[in-house]
């Protein structure tokens, strides 16, 4: 029962108070760190996940302010696609903040940083025939990079951490004999929603500032919390787009920035001319959709970016098997020192790990061998099972069997099938 209100009438407890004292509160608030009340900056996008993360941070007793990151130039959308995605999102954010007790909401314009650190690089990679992942770059460089720098410059010392609606778990461990704390990144409780793949390029310092309230919850539980709190966006459909495209289709974005470059489509096995395409950058290995040729289904096997040729086959699994098993990774970010991982067969620099090559629940048993002389920054990886659609520019993320995220790197090429056979024999 609530206390008496004006005139002696009882005041009903707020939904947040009910949430904080509910029987399932220990589970709901497990990753929100209620035992350490702090002042937190919450990244709010207008979606259900970030809104529930905000609510859980409030219920856990933290002092919070919400921040909406504007990363698109409004004029770019209106001039090119006649729709500005962030205006509707901002209205959703305002409604959510009002429903949770007038949480302060701020708009932070990071358009210059976003184009310089994410979009420009993605366009360069696409032009080179690579397949970038802007969501990975956005997290490490913008949401937990440029935004933190903005806080330090404009609100110095006012916030102890950054909250987001990502599905991931963090474990803090005191370093023996020191006051330092080591942060471990773990896969979320919901394997379908787990987003450690997108967070895998964050530095140790960035992870130490993060709070992920949704890490111990399933998507169904998150949606249930939204309904229990009567959040205005509780029934909002889940977004499926890339973080920097919103409602815009990827081919439309590429066409606006790179244009079309017509070229031939050749059969992988024979070199026969089958048709024409509008630019190799619209295709990625393993792709089936968008290949309008008779007698299919046809799959992209590779691209010759210098000659603007796309090769396709109806027997993709046979023609590209080696490319889909063996690859190089560089720019490795290690969350767990290689020295702390048990070496495979006692061989230094050789590890048996689980590998993700895209967001989703699927992982591969993989062998990772560090390349000597590269200070643990480059490695060669052999997957136990084929993975169709591997492409340079994608990220490969490595885990232990229990979901501890160890490392993340960029796929940067495919050694020959002969190298694969030698490694299989050695294994």
Active site residues: 138, 243
Give the neighbor-by-neighbor strand order of the sheet with 39-43: 105-109, 63-70, 39-43, 161-163, 210-211
The region, left, alpha or beta by phi > 0 then psi within -120 to 50, assigned to residue 298 is beta
Cβ-based neighbour number of residue 105 at 10 Å? 18
Q: Measured between alpha carbons, how far is 211 from 224 in angstroms, rounded to an integer?
A: 21
């Amino acid at each position: 029962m609530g206390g008496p209100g004006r005139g002696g009438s009882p005041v009903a407890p707020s939904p947040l108070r009910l949430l904080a004292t509910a029987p399932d509160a220990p589970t709901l608030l497990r990753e929100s760190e209620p035992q350490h009340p702090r002042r937190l900056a919450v990244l709010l996008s207008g979606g259900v996940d970030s809104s529930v993360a905000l609510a859980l941070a409030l219920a856990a007793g933290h002092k919070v302010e919400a921040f909406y990151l504007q990363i698109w130039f409004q004029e770019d959308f209106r001039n090119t696609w006649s729709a500005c995605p962030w205006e509707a999102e901002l209205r959703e954010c305002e409604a959510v903040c009002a429903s949770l007790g007038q949480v302060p909401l701020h708009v932070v314009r990071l358009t210059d940083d976003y184009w310089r650190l994410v979009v420009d690089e993605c366009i360069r990679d696409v032009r080179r025939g690579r397949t970038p992942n802007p969501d990975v770059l956005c997290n490490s460089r913008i949401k937990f990079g440029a935004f933190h720098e903005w806080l330090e410059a404009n609100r110095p010392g006012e916030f102890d951490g950054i909250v987001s609606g990502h599905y991931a778990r963090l474990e803090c461990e005191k370093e023996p004999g020191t006051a330092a704390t080591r942060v471990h990144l773990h896969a979320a409780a919901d394997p379908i929603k787990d987003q450690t793949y997108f967070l895998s390029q964050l530095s140790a310092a960035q992870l130490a500032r993060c709070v992920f309230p949704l890490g111990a919850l399933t998507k169904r539980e998150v949606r249930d919390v939204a309904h229990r709190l009567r959040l205005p966006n509780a029934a909002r459909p889940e977004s499926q787009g890339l973080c920097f495209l919103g409602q815009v289709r990827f081919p439309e974005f590429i066409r606006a920035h790179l244009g079309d470059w017509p070229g031939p489509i050749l059969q992988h096995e024979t070199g026969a001319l089958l048709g024409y395409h509008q630019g190799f950058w619209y295709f990625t290995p393993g792709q089936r959709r968008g290949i309008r040729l008779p007698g299919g289904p046809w799959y992209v096997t590779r691209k010759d970016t210098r000659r603007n040729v796309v090769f396709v086959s109806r027997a993709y699994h046979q023609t590209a098997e080696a490319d889909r098993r063996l690859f190089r990774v560089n720019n490795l970010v290690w969350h767990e020192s290689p020295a702390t991982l048990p070496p495979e067969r006692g061989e230094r620099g050789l590890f048996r790990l689980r590998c993700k090559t895209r967001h989703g629940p699927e992982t591969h048993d993989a062998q990772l061998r560090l390349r000597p002389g590269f200070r643990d920054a480059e490695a060669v990886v052999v997957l136990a099972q084929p993975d169709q659609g591997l492409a340079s520019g994608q990220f490969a993320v490595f885990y232990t069997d229990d979901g501890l995220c160890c490392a993340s790197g960029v796929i940067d090429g495919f050694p020959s099938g002969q190298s694969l056979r030698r490694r299989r024999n050695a294994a």
